[in-house]
Structure 1
Amino acid sequence: MTGILGKKLGMTQIFTEDGKLVPVTVIEAGPCCVVQVKTPEKDGYEAVKVGFIEARKEKNLSKPLIGAFKKAGTPVFKILKEFHMSGLQVGDMIKADSFSKGDKVTVSGISKGKGFQGVMKRHKFKGGPDSHGSMFNRAPGSIGASSFPSRVWKGMRMAGHMGSERVTMKNLTVVDVRPEQNLILIKGAVPGAVNSIVEIRKA
């Protein structure tokens, strides 16, 4: 499996060779540096830890983390993530050219935070009549369960915090790769706000 960290730059649209207009998300993918290699013999599983975006100030990181970077002999990075990959060594760089046009990828990120929202926006409730005097326009309705169990059931769909959670989109298509600019163009939308960090894996 191939994985890379990237920064979502926004959305645009491009024309394909057959003249079709395709909406794409532009992601600045890498370059990511391998800072640690985990092996089944030592750690119990096989993976590599990669770093993305060099940290400007070491004081914002913990001393054990800074020591790990110095031991690896790599720059200090702000963002670290493990990918289940093999065949890499500490110091190797993972770049956008690890992917190619037509690849199917899985993209994970933190969705936009919506704050506290009602049931119509959060759970797509229909709501009540909009006529004058109905008194039931956007209300959630009854949540009780009668005399048994005399409480609200767990998992009841109600108003509450919405967004700002990990979302994974599977089987997205890579429309174009521009290695000289470290850009990957993926068909459709991916989770997260502009400038948020996303993880891209080959499906």
Structure 2
Amino acid sequence: MFSLSLNRLRISVSHVTQQFVRTAAQITSIHAVTSLRTTPPTKQHTVEEANKRKQLLERTGLFGIKRGMITWYTEKGEQIPATVLEINSCEVIGHKTREEWGYDANIIGAIDKLKNYPRMHELKIFEKAGTAPKAKFGEFRVRGETSLLPLGTELRADFFAVGQLVDIKGVTKGKGFAGVMKRWNFSGGRATHGVSKAHRTPGAMGGNQNPGRVFPGKKMPGRMGCSNMTDFNKQVLHADGDAGILIVKGCIPGPKKGIVRVSDSLKLYGKSLNQLARE
């Protein structure tokens, strides 16, 4: 019995001391690789790089007040729907430079507000520009420093020439909560033949099992209007700098007395800094 157990012990020791050689492909540990420093790539999401890709205009824009629509008669006697804009005290009140902000822009103010100005800390901006406090102001990006206008420069309605194309951006009229027929122009259900209380409903929203959910972006009832909208390539019919009246062809977004942004046509006059560098 003792000799048998000793032989078993020798067999087990021999198995432990046996060396196994790995013949498969060996993976080098990541800790054995020395770190190499490479040049970091240019960050394409910075403000400077994004501004180079952005379509920019050479001239700044201005703010206008929508006063309503009229009928415009051409020399041939044709009737054209037109919109009247009031240009009220548009002046340059500040600048944004590429060294500080990453892009160049003119800050334009409109509509004098001589009393009860709500934001007292902004009065220093108007004092530096030498203008009256403004009820509305915003920035218009330009291509470079050469397009920055001097502080206090007044922009009148004749800043735009008759016959040129402009872009007008505003906030559309608010319609409140609307159904799919008014909001998305759905045709609705049938008025007869078994349809019961489902004449203006949107219908089925999605499958029960496949896909088993409603996809994001589904056209459904909801809040309609009060969204930013830009009308491109609106023709200027009349521009009176002394009276502050600008008339453009067609309709524009927003209600009466709404403030809109008027600028040169981006599709016609806009170019990016990268495009100018290739030229």
Give the TM-score category using the shorter length.
Answer: over 0.9
Greater share of residues in helix: 2
Larger Rg: 2
Indicate conservation of the 8 Å contact 2:117/2:133, yes or no.
no
Query: Within 2, Cα distance between the matches of 1:56 and 1:119?
Result: 45
Structure 2: how far apart are the matches of 1:6 and 1:149?
48
Which residue of 30, 35, 40 corresponds with 2:93?
35
Q: How much does 1:149 deviate?
A: 4.3
2:79 to 21, 25, 32: 21
Other-structure match for 2:17: none
Using the TM superposition, give the Cα deviation of residue 183 of structure 1 relative to its aligned residue in structure 2, in angstroms. 0.6
Residue 102 of structure 1 corresponds to 163
The equivalences for 1:1-203 within 5 A come to: 1-61=59-119, 63-85=120-142, 86-131=147-192, 133-135=194-196, 136-203=198-265
The code of the aligned residue for 1:114 comes to K
C-alpha change, 1:56 and 1:74, in structure 2 (3 Å) is closer
Asked whether the 8 Å contact 2:105–2:148 carries over to 1, the reply is no
Q: Counterpart of 1:34 in 2: which secondary structure?
A: strand
Unaligned runs of 5+ in 1: none
Structure-2 change in CA distance of 1:144 and 1:114 (3 Å):
same
RMSD of aligned residue pairs (Cα, Å): 1.6
Helix, strand or coil for the counterpart of 1:70? helix
The AA in structure 1 aligned to 2:140 is F
The structure richer in strand per residue is: 1
What secondary structure sits across from 2:106 in the alignment? strand
Q: Deviations over 1:46-103 (max 9, x none)?
A: 1110111112434422x33223222333211110111124141111111111011101
TM-score (norm 2): 0.69
1:141-197 superposed Cα distances (whole Å, 9 cap, x missing partner)? 111332244332211110000001111000110011122211111000000000000
User: Percent identity between the aligned chains?
Assistant: 38
Higher relative contact order (CA 8 A, sep 6+): 1
Q: Write the distance in 2 (CA, Å) between the matches of 1:3 and 1:106.
A: 10
TM-score normalised according to structure 1 size: 0.93
Aligned length: 202
